[in-house]
Chain A
Amino acid sequence: MKDAKVIELDEVTIRFSGDSGDGMQLTGTLFSDATALLGNDISTFPDYPSEIRAPQGTVGGVSGFQVQFGKRLVNTPGDLAHVLVAMNPAAVKANAKFINPGGTIIYDSDSFNEKNLKKAKFSTDDPFAECNLEDFFKIPVPISTLTKESLKEFGLDNKSVLRSKNMFALGLVCWMFNRPLDYIEEFLGKKFAKKPVVVEANVKVLHDGFNYGMTMQHMTPSYLVNPAVIENGTYRTINGNHATAWGFLAAAEKSGRELFLGSYPITPATDILSALSERKDLGVKTFQAEDEIAGVTSAIGAAFAGDLAVTTTSGPGLALKGEAIGLAVMAELPLVVVNVQRGGPSTGLPTKTEQSDLLQALYGRNGESPVVVVAASTPSDCFWYAYKASQIALERMVPVILMTDGFLGNGSEPWKVPTMAEMPPITPRVAKDASSFKAYKRDPETLAREWAYPGMAGFEHRIGGLEKDETGTVSHDTENHQINTELREEKVQRVADLVPDLEVCGDGDGEVLVVGWGGTFGHLVSAVRELRKEGKNVSHAHFNYIKPLPKNTAEIFGKFKKIIVCELNMGQFASYLRDEMPDFKYEQLNKLKGLPFTVDEVKQSVYKLLED
Chain B
Amino acid sequence: MIDLKYTVKDFKSDSEVRWCPGCGDYAIMNAVQRAMAGLGIPHEKYAVISGIGCSSRFPYYMSTYGFHTIHGRAAAIASGVKLANPDLSVWMISGDGDSLAIGGNHFIHLVRRNIDINLILFNNRIYGLTKGQYSPTCDRGFKSKTSPFGTVEDPFVPGQLVIGARGSFFARSLDGNMKMSQSVFEAAAKHKGTSVVEVLQNCVIYNNGIHGAITDPNHKAERQLHLEHGKPMIFGAENEKGLVFENAKLKVVEIGKDGVTIDDILVHDATEVDPTLHMALINMQLPDFPVAFGVIRNVEALVYDTEMAKQIDEVQQKRKVTCVDELLNSGNTWEVTGNGTPDSTSC
| Chain A residues within CB distance 8 Å of chain B | 33, 36-37, 39, 72-73, 183, 228-237, 246, 249-250, 253, 258, 260, 262, 279-285, 287, 289-291, 293-294, 297-307, 309, 323-324, 326-327, 331, 416-420, 453-466, 473-474, 505-506, 525, 528-529, 532, 539-540
Contact, CB under 8 Å: A302 / B83? yes
Contact, CB under 8 Å: B320 / A281? yes
Q: How far is the CA of A454 from the CA of B41 in the complex (A)?
A: 13
Q: How far is the CA of A456 from the CA of B342 in the complex (A)?
A: 51
Contact, CB under 8 Å: A250 / B60? no
Contact pick for B336, options A230, A250, A455, A540, CB 8 Å: A230
Contact, CB under 8 Å: B47 / A464? no
Q: How far is the CB of B338 from chain A (nearest CB, A)?
A: 7
Closest A residue to B88 by beta carbon equals A454
Contact, CB under 8 Å: B67 / A462? yes
- Is B136 among interface residues, defined by CB-CB distance under 8 A? no
* A309-B347 contact, Cβ under 8 Å, with A455-B88, A457-B43, A463-B67: no
Q: How far is the CA of A293 from the CA of B73 in the complex (A)?
A: 8
Contact pick for B84, options A232, A249, A250, A258, CB 8 Å: A258
Q: How far is the CA of A303 from the CA of B79 in the complex (A)?
A: 12
- Is B209 among interface residues, defined by CB-CB distance under 8 A? no
Q: How far is the CA of A463 from the CA of B49 in the complex (A)?
A: 10
Contact, CB under 8 Å: A73 / B343? yes
Contact, CB under 8 Å: B77 / A301? yes
Chain B 77-90 against A: per-residue CB contact (8 Å), 1 yes, 0 no?
Answer: 11111111101100
Q: Which residues of A contact B342 (CB under 8 A)?
A: 73, 229-231
Q: Which residues of A contact B44 (CB under 8 A)?
A: 454-460
Q: How far is the CA of A319 from the CA of B311 in the complex (A)?
A: 33
Contact, CB under 8 Å: A293 / B323? no
Q: 27 A-B Cβ contacts within 8 A?
A: A229-B340, A229-B341, A235-B335, A236-B333, A237-B332, A253-B323, A279-B321, A280-B311, A283-B312, A287-B83, A294-B75, A301-B49, A301-B78, A301-B80, A301-B82, A301-B84, A324-B73, A454-B81, A455-B45, A458-B44, A459-B44, A460-B44, A460-B65, A463-B66, A464-B69, A465-B69, A529-B347
Closest B residue to A538 by beta carbon equals B347
Contact, CB under 8 Å: B333 / A234? yes
* A462-B60 contact, Cβ under 8 Å, with A39-B336, A253-B324: yes
Contact, CB under 8 Å: B324 / A236? no
Q: How far is the CB of B249 from chain A (nearest CB, A)?
A: 34
Closest B residue to A466 by beta carbon equals B68
Contact, CB under 8 Å: B338 / A232? yes
- Is B286 among interface residues, defined by CB-CB distance under 8 A? no
**Number of chain B residues close to chain A: CB under 8 A:** 70
Contact pick for A234, options B47, B77, B335, CB 8 Å: B335
Contact pick for B347, options A232, A305, A327, A539, CB 8 Å: A539
Contact pick for B68, options A232, A285, A456, A463, CB 8 Å: A463
Main secondary structure of the interface of A (DSSP, over half): mixed
* A454-B47 contact, Cβ under 8 Å, with A230-B343, A464-B67, A505-B346: yes
- Is B181 among interface residues, defined by CB-CB distance under 8 A? no
Q: How far is the CA of A300 from the CA of B83 in the complex (A)?
A: 12
| Chain B residues within CB distance 8 Å of chain A | 2, 13, 15, 42-47, 49, 52, 59-60, 62-70, 73, 75-85, 87-88, 105-106, 109, 308, 311-312, 315-316, 319-325, 327-329, 331-343, 345-347
Q: Which residues of B contact A420 (CB under 8 A)?
A: 323-325
Contact pick for B327, options A249, A307, A528, CB 8 Å: A249
* A460-B63 contact, Cβ under 8 Å, with A236-B331, A280-B312, A281-B315: yes
Contact pick for B69, options A327, A454, A474, CB 8 Å: A327
The 10 A-B pairs at the shortest CB distance, nearest first, are namely: A301-B80, A464-B68, A305-B84, A298-B80, A281-B319, A294-B76, A462-B66, A301-B77, A280-B315, A302-B84
Q: Which residues of B contact A285 (CB under 8 A)?
A: 83-84, 308, 312
Contact, CB under 8 Å: B336 / A232? yes
Q: How far is the CA of A305 from the CA of B117 in the complex (A)?
A: 14
Q: How far is the CB of A545 from chain B (nearest CB, A)?
A: 19
Q: Which residues of A contact B78 (CB under 8 A)?
A: 301
* A235-B308 contact, Cβ under 8 Å, with A260-B80, A280-B315, A420-B324: no
Closest A residue to B321 by beta carbon equals A281
* A230-B339 contact, Cβ under 8 Å, with A294-B106, A454-B81: yes
Q: How far is the CA of A528 from the CA of B2 in the complex (A)?
A: 66
Q: How far is the CA of A65 from the CA of B318 in the complex (A)?
A: 36
Closest B residue to A73 by beta carbon equals B343
Q: How far is the CA of A173 from the CA of B238 in the complex (A)?
A: 90
Q: Which residues of B contact A289 (CB under 8 A)?
A: 76, 109
Contact, CB under 8 Å: B347 / A234? no
Given contacts A233-B335, A417-B329, 18 further A-B contacts (CB under 8 A): A73-B342, A234-B336, A235-B333, A260-B83, A290-B109, A294-B75, A300-B77, A301-B49, A301-B82, A302-B81, A304-B67, A305-B88, A416-B336, A417-B333, A458-B44, A462-B13, A462-B60, A473-B15
Contact, CB under 8 Å: B65 / A454? yes
Q: How far is the CB of B332 from chain A (nearest CB, A)?
A: 6
Contact, CB under 8 Å: A323 / B83? no
Contact, CB under 8 Å: A418 / B47? no
Contact, CB under 8 Å: B323 / A307? no
Q: Which residues of B contact A231 (CB under 8 A)?
A: 336, 339, 342
Contact pick for A236, options B76, B82, B323, B332, CB 8 Å: B332
Q: How far is the CB of B27 from chain A (nearest CB, A)?
A: 21
Q: How far is the CB of B125 from chain A (nearest CB, A)?
A: 25
Contact, CB under 8 Å: A506 / B347? yes
Closest B residue to A293 by beta carbon equals B73
Contact pick for B80, options A228, A250, A253, A287, CB 8 Å: A287
